Amino acid sequence: MNEILIALAILGGMGLIFGLVLAIASKVFYVEEDERLAPLTECLPGANCGGCGYAGCGGYAEAVLKGEAEIGKCASGGDEAAQKMAEIMGVKAEKVARRVAMVRCSGYKRTDEDGKPVGLMMKGDYEGLHDCLAASKVAGRGPTICKYGCLGFGNCTRACKYDAIHVVDGVARVDFDKCVGCMSCAAACPRGIITSVEYGEHIVISCSSHAKGAVTTRGCTIGCIGCGLCKKICPKDAITIDRNLAVIDYSKCDSCGLCVNVCPKKMIRKATQGGSRD
């Protein structure tokens, strides 16, 4: 009986000592939390999408507080979140333009009334995993003839937390009304053909192929062939042809739309058209 009481007394004494040590340590090593951290975090949407480059909304808010990150990097929160954060930090934030994701591929995997293939053409029947990364590892860089085209197995749709991207006729399409520009879809795309564009009346090139025109045409009936008609008609000299693909310099482009009208493949369009083709 005495042995039990002694053991309990020893344990109780040890607990008391450890408690005192922890209490002293908490005082010695106490780091006062900036009272602005909670309000900054509340300004953010809480999606924790990682589009800002930080581990969640809390991580980004802390980085802003420490001066390690700029205000306005939250695509999901947009300008509203940026202005609220700037007010808390006592600074002025530039207006944040809304940006959305765009799939740089116009190809539809379908046939016309005569049974001829339209858009991206397949090498044959694909029986592997319905996963873009797995399909991209198939010999010859995937089941589509175009090695730059959308594989269409929906890795991007599964990554999107806003139900803003869907596979339509075998190709991913973004719903700009739902997209917040977090770019989670781009991170999930093994071919890297999803890019960020400014929402609005901006002209976009919906193709990623750098193959020569004849090669592109064999693999996709509506891909960019680098013909240069868009470059010739542009009054602002805003379009160049880089390795057989049209590229727009947005510092020069005024979105006049002349290139949209002249493109023989109809793969140049305004960003407000989303993923649809007229």
Strand runs (DSSP E) across 83-212, as ranges? 99-103, 110-111, 117-118, 165-168, 171-174, 194-198, 203-205
Rounded distance between C-alpha atoms, residue 268 and residue 223, angstroms: 10
Rounded distance between C-alpha atoms, residue 71 and residue 64, angstroms: 7
Contact criterion met (CB below 8 Å) for 77 and 182? no
According to CATH, the superfamily of the domain at 37-89 is: Electron transport complex subunit B, putative Fe-S cluster (1.10.15.40)
Return the domain boundaries, the chain.
37-89, 99-273
- Select from 107, 87, 92 the least CA-distant residue to 39: 87
pLDDT value, residue 123: 76
HSE of 21 in the Cβ direction (CA atoms, 13 Å)? Answer: 6
pTM for this model (two decimals): 0.76
CA angle 128, 131, 135 (to 5 degrees): 55
pLDDT value, residue 207: 94
Helix ranges restricted to H, 202-257: 213-219, 229-233
pLDDT value, residue 276: 42
* Token digits of residue 239: 């379009």
* Token digits of residue 273: 């058209």
> Per residue of the chain (278 residues), what is the pLDDT tens digit?
667 777 777 777 787 887 787 777 766 665 567 789 999 999 999 888 888 888 889 999 999 999 999 999 998 888 999 999 999 999 998 898 888 999 999 887 766 677 666 778 877 778 888 899 999 988 777 888 899 999 999 999 999 989 999 999 889 999 988 999 999 999 999 999 999 988 876 889 999 999 999 999 888 888 999 999 999 999 999 999 999 999 999 889 999 999 999 999 988 987 765 444 44
- Quickly name the fold that domain 99-273 has: Alpha-Beta Plaits (3.30.70)
Rounded distance between C-alpha atoms, residue 210 and residue 172, angstroms: 20
pLDDT value, residue 201: 65
